[in-house]
Chain A
């Protein structure tokens, strides 16, 4: 080698230069990674180590009008699993099934939830029993990704008695997810499925919190708490309803498990829904978490259709309860007065065209005026009134009275009533052909048969107009400003006459068996054809819609008993409901609220 000191010194300088340059290059590279790209790598490192475990928010407590609890939250447990990959999730589920029972369907559901959001712990049991949790805790070490946490669980203290109203919650399904994902819903969350729970989902939902757990490279949960400040869930504020839980329970108690039908009780001035029940009911508490398959099947296969809310979804011909609509159209049009008699007296029926139209009372009512016709529910009188009004006005008037509109109650999936459209002749031409129908359609419509199916809640709404000044109040389950819509305009004498006639129905007419001591009850029975027969006898739906006290109504009640026979049966139930409300409930109200 060339070992001259100058050469060595020169090479030494070059070597030192190379060393310095290399050092600067490396330090510069570290500066770029550690300082300039710091934020990005911190994020990655946090993503590496932290998994978000959702902390479900307690749903808003639902109260009745006096502060009694309709729906609340009780402590429950949920079990979920963190997995790095789908195959390891499947393997873990397989191993879990050795400790607790997991059906194949359940396992598939877990995998579906995982696919939706692999970074979220996949829920295995949304509502685990204490027994199951303790068994899992024993084997905790074998399942490193297992997350067991206390979760608020929905509970309805009165169960089946409030099911038609409050509905239930359940795990969000694929369809709901695809429409609600934008609102922050995620797989495995609970969502209102029916009733108030569904209608007021937004207000009841609250905001989910997050617990951060630390996992290692194999997704083993290393640290359960304190990995990062948890975001605590925000419970939703309580929801105050207009319901009278005591009355609701009373109504549910009357129906019991044997009757099928529906009842709606409304405060006529404000539209506050005091009670709403559909029978038979179901136990919403059994729907929380996972619905047991056999329970669900038994409900679905039950011919009495417990899952259909008969108060808002069942459509039934209103029968004689509709005669009030006919009377009002006649009065408004000035075609009839309360004291007017019809040309043909009732002899148990009348001939129209080539057909004989029977009255419900074969013995006949003789010559009656409108008031008496309402009291006695005389069909012959109303046949003639229908003819006098004419099909066009009968249909147009019915539509004005809300025969084609939903009541607008704040519950989901209310059915629209069925009624001909205006003008009626075009409707019937379209429906039956120009020669397929005749004026006898007016006769049927006038007594609430024919092309007319109403919901129980819509009939209740119509009677709030009768009970007040001709304006109907929209039924409201949850407290809100009254929403009234004028249906008809009659003078006070006519209104008083109508109410008097309705009071007569109970005091001496068709529902005289349902009188209440000390209360003037007004209302109208109805017996509607169901199209179902038992032997040769048709099974009729029994209706009663009414209010009390007749002079200053405090409550409107609509009761419909499916295949209940004559309307008097419904009247009997309605009078009990009204009696309970006006005597018992009002007493309680005074004693709890003070003067």
Chain B
């Protein structure tokens, strides 16, 4: 049966508005007092949006069953490409030392990791949808863990910390949507929290006590409980000791290895200039294309990673609120699509795609205000970049399809 194709106009309009907003900002980012290459990039960006629209239309054609069928080959293909990248990948732009770019004959084709995110979301959706009940113990999580872990490892070897963070975000978001209980999510996340808190003994101690209480209350398998507690101890106690033993240059090397896009010494400067740009915007900003921080090259990477400070500087708090509001409605719409999907796979797929964007927005926007570490991941629909724009619109296309197929069943659902 041919599905009724009803276009989800709110979704499409939101994505179109964001893209139009984004292209305008890429245009503005090129308006500097001393002209650079960035000046003409908005032409390219416009072309990428057009290509993205075509991709979205294509992606909205096949049925969910086709997507389900295509999941395994897509995932396998993504893993193979990521593996190949480790040998033939090239660096570019702010991340010149990594291997995240695929190029053929010197011509950069794109960043496969953007498409790999969608493939991983599809595979996760498929694995989680196959279970009647959500995973209730650590052991039961092995399948999704492997699905995310394999490409994650390949990405971290490039190395690309930003994309790695996105993968972890997707992993947790989709576990949540599949119905995994929050204590289990906390237990899974606990080693990471320990690692972050390890540098403050007091904070880590408090966290550790909370974790012990949670373990005792949730009562996982004894072995799992022991494993979680010991991993946390290792992270919290041993990691700082090892870290301290390292020479400063080794520490720096490790930081640069984890995130080559930013030299830790220069990153402070970038964040300060970003905050100055945003803060000097005020209510209504300095006017479109008139931001001085941007015009005079105080903002780093103003057309890619730091495009949001341009919004803040030139359009002010109002512009920022509008942009964030558009994102909010896009996410709400996506959640609605997930909740109204006809089957678990569709639901998880829709939620996974939205969670990609969500993590990108949080990390990127948070970075501009120094709320998040600088990892150099782009802002969906805004940052200049072909593969990412294409991937975003591909996601929109899939969501359009899922929205169209889910409509029949979920009308009764109110969110």
Question: How far, in whole Å, are A44 and B274 apart by their CA atoms in the complex?
Answer: 11
The total number of A-B Cβ pairs within 8 Å is 147
Q: Does B296 contact A (CB under 8 A)?
A: yes
Determine if B34 and A222 form an interchain contact, defined as CB atoms under 8 angstroms apart.
yes
Q: Is the interface of B mostly helix, strand, loop or mixed?
A: helix
Q: What 1/0 mask marks residues of chain B from 196 to 220 whose CB sits below 8 Å from any chain A CB? A: 0000000000000000000000000
From 106 to 145 in chain A, residues with beta carbon under 8 angstroms from any chain B beta carbon are: none
Do A34 and B324 contact each other (CB < 8 Å), given the known contacts A5-B413, A8-B339, A8-B347? no
Report the minimum CB–CB distance from B351 to chain A (whole Å).
8
| Nearest opposing residue in chain B for A25, CB measure | B371
Residues of B with C-beta under 8 A to A35:
282-283, 317
From 40 to 56 in chain A, residues with beta carbon under 8 angstroms from any chain B beta carbon are: 40-42, 44-45, 48-49
Q: Does A589 contact B (CB under 8 A)?
A: no
Determine if B282 and A38 form an interchain contact, defined as CB atoms under 8 angstroms apart.
yes
Residues of A with C-beta under 8 A to B281:
34, 38
**Which of A212-220, A380-388, A451-459, A511-519 binds B?**
A212-220
Determine if B179 and A7 form an interchain contact, defined as CB atoms under 8 angstroms apart.
yes
Q: Does B140 contact A (CB under 8 A)?
A: no
From 171 to 217 in chain A, residues with beta carbon under 8 angstroms from any chain B beta carbon are: 214-217
Determine if A48 and B415 form an interchain contact, defined as CB atoms under 8 angstroms apart.
no
Q: What 1/0 mask marks residues of chain B from 240 to 278 whose CB sits below 8 Å from any chain A CB? A: 000000000000000000000000000000000101111
Do A41 and B275 contact each other (CB < 8 Å), given the known contacts A8-B339, A16-B335? yes
Report the minimum CB–CB distance from A29 to chain B (whole Å).
5
Question: How far, in whole Å, are A49 and B351 apart by their CA atoms in the complex?
Answer: 44
Q: Does B232 contact A (CB under 8 A)?
A: no
**Which of B39-47, B108-116, B129-137 binds A?**
B129-137
Question: How far, in whole Å, are A218 and B179 apart by their CA atoms in the complex?
Answer: 54
Report the minimum CB–CB distance from A2 to chain B (whole Å).
4
Q: Does B159 contact A (CB under 8 A)?
A: no
Question: How far, in whole Å, are A222 and B293 apart by their CA atoms in the complex?
Answer: 13
Report the minimum CB–CB distance from A223 to chain B (whole Å).
7
Determine if A3 and B279 form an interchain contact, defined as CB atoms under 8 angstroms apart.
no
Determine if A34 and B332 form an interchain contact, defined as CB atoms under 8 angstroms apart.
no
Q: Does A88 contact B (CB under 8 A)?
A: no
Q: Does B18 contact A (CB under 8 A)?
A: no
Number of interface residues of B (CB under 8 A): 57
B134's partner among A2, A30, A49 (CB-CB below 8 A) is: A2
Residues of B with C-beta under 8 A to A99:
none
A29's partner among B128, B292, B351, B371 (CB-CB below 8 A) is: B371
Determine if B296 and A216 form an interchain contact, defined as CB atoms under 8 angstroms apart.
yes
Determine if A27 and B321 form an interchain contact, defined as CB atoms under 8 angstroms apart.
yes
Question: How far, in whole Å, are A23 and B276 apart by their CA atoms in the complex?
Answer: 22
| Nearest opposing residue in chain B for A4, CB measure | B179
Report the minimum CB–CB distance from A141 to chain B (whole Å).
12
Report the minimum CB–CB distance from A229 to chain B (whole Å).
16
Q: Does B365 contact A (CB under 8 A)?
A: yes
Give the interface residue-count category, chain A.
Answer: 35 or more
From 1 to 26 in chain A, residues with beta carbon under 8 angstroms from any chain B beta carbon are: 1-3, 5, 7-9, 11-16, 19-20, 22-23, 26
Q: Does B376 contact A (CB under 8 A)?
A: no
Report the minimum CB–CB distance from A409 to chain B (whole Å).
55
Q: Does B103 contact A (CB under 8 A)?
A: no
Report the minimum CB–CB distance from A303 to chain B (whole Å).
59
Determine if B279 and A41 form an interchain contact, defined as CB atoms under 8 angstroms apart.
yes
Residues of A with C-beta under 8 A to B320:
27, 30, 34
Q: Does B184 contact A (CB under 8 A)?
A: no
Q: Does A31 contact B (CB under 8 A)?
A: yes
Question: How far, in whole Å, are A222 and B129 apart by their CA atoms in the complex?
Answer: 59
Q: Does B362 contact A (CB under 8 A)?
A: yes
Residues of A with C-beta under 8 A to B279:
33-34, 37-38, 40-42, 44-45
Q: What 1/0 mask marks residues of chain B from 287 to 322 whose CB sits below 8 Å from any chain A CB? A: 000001101111000000000000010001100110
Residue picked from A1, A20, A30, A217, most chain B C-beta under 10 Å: A1
B415's partner among A13, A40, A222, A223 (CB-CB below 8 A) is: A13
| Nearest opposing residue in chain A for B320, CB measure | A30
Residues of A with C-beta under 8 A to B176:
11, 14-15
B365's partner among A2, A11, A26 (CB-CB below 8 A) is: A26
Question: How far, in whole Å, are A37 and B332 apart by their CA atoms in the complex?
Answer: 31
B317's partner among A1, A3, A30 (CB-CB below 8 A) is: A30
Q: Does B24 contact A (CB under 8 A)?
A: no
Do A223 and B33 contact each other (CB < 8 Å), given the known contacts A1-B128, A8-B413? yes
Residues of B with C-beta under 8 A to A41:
275-276, 278-280
From 315 to 353 in chain B, residues with beta carbon under 8 angstroms from any chain A beta carbon are: 316-317, 320-321, 324-325, 327-328, 331-332, 335-336, 338-339, 343-344, 347-348, 351
| Nearest opposing residue in chain B for A214, CB measure | B296
Do A9 and B324 contact each other (CB < 8 Å), given the known contacts A2-B134, A16-B332, A34-B282? no
Determine if A12 and B335 form an interchain contact, defined as CB atoms under 8 angstroms apart.
yes
Question: How far, in whole Å, are A48 and B324 apart by their CA atoms in the complex?
Answer: 28
Q: What 1/0 mask marks residues of chain B from 118 to 129 whose CB sits below 8 Å from any chain A CB? A: 000000000011
Residues of A with C-beta under 8 A to B365:
26
A42's partner among B282, B312, B328, B335 (CB-CB below 8 A) is: B282
The 6 A-B pairs of least Cβ separation, nearest first, read: A41-B279, A45-B280, A1-B178, A216-B296, A12-B339, A2-B179
Chain B interface (Cβ < 8 Å from any Cβ of A): 33-34, 128-129, 131, 133-134, 176-179, 273, 275-283, 292-293, 295-298, 312, 316-317, 320-321, 324-325, 327-328, 331-332, 335-336, 338-339, 343-344, 347-348, 351, 358, 362, 365-366, 369, 371, 412-415
Chain A interface (Cβ < 8 Å from any Cβ of B): 1-3, 5, 7-9, 11-16, 19-20, 22-23, 26-27, 29-31, 33-35, 37-38, 40-42, 44-45, 48-49, 214-218, 220, 222-223
Known contacts A12-B335, A23-B325; 16 additional CB pairs below 8 A are A1-B347, A3-B347, A7-B179, A11-B179, A15-B177, A19-B335, A20-B328, A23-B324, A30-B278, A30-B312, A38-B282, A41-B275, A45-B276, A48-B296, A48-B298, A217-B297
